[in-house]
Amino acid sequence: MKRFEKQVIAYASACHVLDHMFELTYGIILIGIAEEFGVGFFILGVLANVAGFTFGLAALPAGVLADRIGERRLLVFFSLGSGLAAIVVGLSPNIYVLGAALAVLGLALGIYHPVGSAFLTRSTEHRGIAFGYHGMSGNLGVALGPFLAGITAASLGWRAPYLIFAIPTLLLAALLYSFSRTQIPTVSETTIHADTGRAQLRSIALPLTLVFLASIVNGLIYRGLVTFLPVYFSQRLHFTLFNFSSMALAGSFTTIALIFGVAGQLSGGYLSEHKRREVLAVIVAVAATPLLLLIGNSEGLVLMLSAIAFAFFHFMGQPIFNTLIAEYTPAAWRGRSYGIYFFGGFGLGSFSATFLGYIAEHSDTRWVFITMAGLSLITVICIVALLAKALATARQSKVNQ
């Protein structure tokens, strides 16, 4: 791998780590916010919904801008905006300011995914491997975020994680500003989808639509997982450790479960370089339903193991889906295609926080995961249809030859 490709992956990965550390912090500090401001799960779910929706909403304009002005400048805006917004979150005097600050933080964080994904596909040759390492870094953020936030909040209060995480983010903005002034070569397109003709766009419309629909459902599941898994663990694991508070324990056990997503990301990235991606997408989609049902109907060690298995397969799908987008999308539309993809996953997916928050408050948190198991069946249908379409296209190509 060339030096500039390693630089691109390193900077993108650093952004990805911090992006998810901020995103996952909120689910860990729910208890602290509830105690200070006197609100229940429904209001906390609404705030998660607001932050998650703006997180996804920013993907649309960010993707378009990535196609027009390039990615590196936008990565500076991402880092600077996230750091400053996190400081405001950490200093919020009431629930209303907190909600507004979380919304702004979501907008800043939402810049990253379409921009970073386009950056990787335009600047690296081995996309599956690049997305594997990139995804691994994101999962480190997903896994370490709850642990660091839980430990920090237990010692210094729920505001401290945002204020502390803002420091490396602002430093990264300065580094990216320097990096953005260098010329990074762009790898030429080598896929068959390199033009933007109308006939080609018609041919890829159905596959992309199926991937986008699957991303929405996966986003609903992801938002429910990161928002309510820590609370669910605190209720059902029944473990004690070093006299940790419930907030610290929830963060620690969430980290243990999600760290296995790192292995999933690397596996998905490696396999997507060697196997048909549509088949791999079917495997990870089918695995989700029984694992979510098991999470919703277990406790203790079984709950922990089922959460670990789900994290592995769920995050294994990310480099696979990201590579599918690059494969089906014309080069000139790469940024906006990722914008639509991540808006579906993070923006529309964010509404599960309110919906599942209502379920958690009025029934039991186990029904959050049972409901997500039902939603996962929609992903299975979309991906099976995508595979069928891909196989039919391959057969037609052989006939034409």
In the chain, where the domains are located: 3-182+197-395
**Backbone angles phi and psi of 181, in degrees to 5:** -90, -5
- Closest C-alpha among 224, 206, 219, 214 to residue 380: 214
- In the prediction, which pLDDT does 191 show? 42
- Closest C-alpha among 87, 50, 231, 71 to residue 170: 87
Distance CA 214, CA 338 (A): 14
Distance CA 395, CA 2 (A): 36
**Is residue 73 helix, strand or coil?**
helix
Q: What's the angle, vertex CA 376, arms to CA 118 and CA 15, rounded to 5? A: 30
Strands (E), 268-354: none
Distance CA 282, CA 289 (A): 12
- In the prediction, which pLDDT does 268 show? 87
pLDDT one-digit tens code per residue, 205-233: 888 889 889 988 988 898 888 778 887 88
- In the prediction, which pLDDT does 18 show? 92
- Closest C-alpha among 245, 240, 232 to residue 150: 245
Find all residues with CB under 8 Å of 12, minimum gap 6, and list them: 75, 116, 119, 120, 134, 137
CB-based contact 63:339 (threshold 8 Å): yes
CA-based max dimension of the chain: 69
CB-based contact 60:343 (threshold 8 Å): yes
Find all residues with CB under 8 Å of 91, minimum gap 6, and list them: 159, 163
- In the prediction, which pLDDT does 192 show? 38
Environment class of residue 143 by beta-carbon count within 10 Å: exposed (0-12), middle (13-18) or buried (19+)?
buried
- In the prediction, which pLDDT does 190 show? 43
Residues of the chain with pLDDT under 50: 188-196
Q: Which residue has the tokens 């998905």?
A: 268
- In the prediction, which pLDDT does 193 show? 41
Distance CA 225, CA 20 (A): 13
CB-based contact 74:65 (threshold 8 Å): yes
| Domain topology for 3-182+197-395 | Growth Hormone; Chain: A; (1.20.1250)
Distance CA 30, CA 153 (A): 11
Four-residue CA torsion sign, 377, 381, 382, 384:
positive
Find all residues with CB under 8 Å of 394, minimum gap 6, and list them: none
Environment class of residue 292 by beta-carbon count within 10 Å: exposed (0-12), middle (13-18) or buried (19+)?
buried
What is the number of alpha carbons within 13 Å of residue 221 lying toward its C-beta? 31
**Is residue 299 helix, strand or coil?**
coil
Amino acid identity for residue 94 in this structure: N
- In the prediction, which pLDDT does 185 show? 52
pTM of the full predicted structure?
A: 0.71
Find all residues with CB under 8 Å of 253, minimum gap 6, and list them: 230, 233, 237, 239, 304
